[in-house]
């Protein structure tokens, strides 16, 4: 007979988990998220469970199971790697008329834990005849379909209101957050910039209005004031507006200005953080912005104005004296002046530098140089925006990784 699916509201209710291994490590966080009062019985626990115990979120009895442990529980999970112990736990729960789940034997388990997932306010639970792998695969397909809108019509969704400032990530459309993609699928109007993942716009229904708010360096530009007006004008018409940006809205994205403008006009704003390019683009090129024994700090700098310019608020002399990694944005046209200033203030001209253009995109390319040679190398290579410049010894870590891979790829 097929099982009867039921959503349990566990807030404040005791749930007994017997076993502290990998299965418990997966199930305990979900029980805590449901508000359960989790009691864990096991001689040993995994480090992740130990962390929850130390935080006071789980009550741990550091001993084997013994009869009577099920008393007072609303739900019991028998998840040890000993079948005899699991059978004894389930037998006690049955005697006390408490629902239980046995992880090692689906046929002997009174209850099954469905493969579950969340898409917005929808919770999906899948059982596949006791086959957990098949259930997880079906669950993933359903959740992905709900998240990208394939399984739910726009008319059936609870429509958000106001404006969402959505970080689209560094360029690759696969790097937008799940929440960002959900809100984009529900938009009536999308105000996008040139660094946002434009491939996602092709997935929008034809009735969605797309407003191009590109700011092209040394080219056509939509003013920030006009962008602010777009957001308020459409939101006041009752439309849900998504401001789709590259990177993160609050990292050199002027998201704060847009949020302030909306607040002044009484427009609610949702902020969806994005993967920011100063970290993601170096990572895509194999460069960690921090590395043990090399750099324990990194500085993200907007170089849209050159050192010495009256509008610059950057302390270039302090950055030059720092041993940390420098990640420079919008620096392509001003790199000769930046390199000269850093060397003048104390950075060695031999400091390694990497320049990554079109990071995370199919056309990504990178060059390495030194602080003394990078300006000429960029000119010779024809580097153009968008590009991220990384200054510091972490650049050599990427070289080391490449050398190790090359050595391992050689014939013995």
Which pLDDT score is estimated for 148? 66
Q: What is the pLDDT of residues 8-35, one digit of tens each?
A: 999 999 999 999 999 999 899 999 999 9
Q: What is the pLDDT of residues 110-123, one digit of tens each?
A: 999 888 888 777 88
Q: What is the pLDDT of residues 315-362, one digit of tens each?
A: 999 999 999 999 999 999 999 999 999 999 999 999 999 999 999 999
* Mean pLDDT of the region 87-95: 98
Is 3.30.1490.20 the CATH classification of the domain at 154-275? no
CATH class entry, domain 279-401: alpha beta
155, pLDDT greater than 60: no
Contacts of 403 (CB under 8 A, 6+ apart): none
Which pLDDT score is estimated for 212? 87
156, pLDDT greater than 90: no
DSSP secondary structure string for all residues of 330-345: S-TTTHHHHHHHHHHT
Could you list the active site residues?
A: 193, 215
Is 1.10.275.10 the CATH classification of the domain at 14-113? no
Q: What pTM was computed for the model?
A: 0.75
Is the Cβ–Cβ distance between 5 and 31 less than 8 Å?
no
Domain boundaries, the chain: 14-113, 154-275, 279-401
DSSP secondary structure string for all residues of 264-277: HTT--EEEE----H
- Would you say the CATH fold of 154-275 matches that of 14-113? no
Is the Cβ–Cβ distance between 256 and 152 less than 8 Å?
no
Q: What is the mean pLDDT of the chain?
A: 91
Give backbone dihedrals phi and psi of 138, rounded to 5 degrees, phi first: -65, -45
Is the Cβ–Cβ distance between 409 and 399 less than 8 Å?
no
Is the Cβ–Cβ distance between 13 and 33 less than 8 Å?
no
């Amino acid at each position: 007979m097929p099982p009867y699916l039921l959503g349990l509201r566990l807030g404040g209710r005791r749930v007994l988990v017997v076993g502290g291994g990998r299965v418990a490590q997966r199930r305990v966080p979900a029980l805590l998220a449901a508000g359960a009062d989790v009691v864990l019985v096991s001689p040993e626990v995994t480090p992740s469970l130990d962390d929850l115990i130390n935080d006071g979120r789980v009550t741990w009895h550091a001993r084997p199971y013994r009869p009577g442990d099920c008393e007072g529980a609303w739900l019991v999970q028998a998840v040890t790697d000993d079948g005899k112990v699991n059978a004894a736990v389930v037998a006690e729960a049955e005697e006390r008329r408490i629902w239980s789940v046995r992880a090692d034997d689906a046929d002997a388990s009174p209850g099954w834990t469905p493969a579950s997932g969340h898409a917005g306010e929808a919770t999906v639970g899948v059982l596949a005849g006791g086959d957990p792998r098949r259930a997880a695969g079906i669950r993933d397909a359903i959740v992905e379909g709900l998240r990208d809108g394939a399984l739910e019509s726009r008319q059936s969704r609870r429509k958000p209101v106001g404006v969402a400032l959505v970080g689209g990530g560094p360029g690759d459309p696969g790097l937008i957050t799940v929440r960002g993609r959900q809100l984009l699928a529900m938009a009536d109007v999308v105000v996008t910039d040139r660094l946002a993942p434009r491939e996602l716009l092709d997935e929008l229904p034809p009735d969605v209005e797309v407003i191009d708010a590109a700011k092209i360096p040394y080219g056509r530009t939509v003013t920030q004031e006009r962008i602010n007006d777009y957001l308020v004008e459409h939101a006041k018409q009752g439309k849900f507006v998504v401001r789709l940006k590259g990177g993160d809205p609050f990292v050199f994205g002027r998201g704060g200005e847009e949020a302030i403008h909306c607040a002044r006009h009484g427009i609610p704003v949702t902020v969806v953080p994005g993967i920011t390019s100063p970290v993601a683009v170096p990572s895509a090129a194999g460069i960690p912005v921090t590395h043990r024994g090399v750099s324990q700090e990194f500085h993200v700098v907007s170089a849209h104005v050159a050192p010495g310019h009256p509008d610059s608020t950057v302390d270039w002399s302090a950055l030059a004296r720092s041993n940390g990694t420098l990640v420079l944005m919008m620096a392509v046209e001003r790199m000769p002046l930046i390199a000269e200033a850093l060397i003048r203030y104390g950075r060695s001209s031999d400091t390694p530098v990497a320049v990554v253009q079109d990071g995370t995109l199919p056309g990504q390319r990178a060059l390495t140089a030194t602080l003394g040679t990078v300006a000429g190398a960029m000119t010779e290579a024809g580097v153009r925006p968008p590009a991220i410049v990384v200054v510091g010894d972490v650049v050599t870590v990427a070289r080391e990784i490449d050398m190790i891979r090359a050595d391992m790829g050689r014939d013995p």
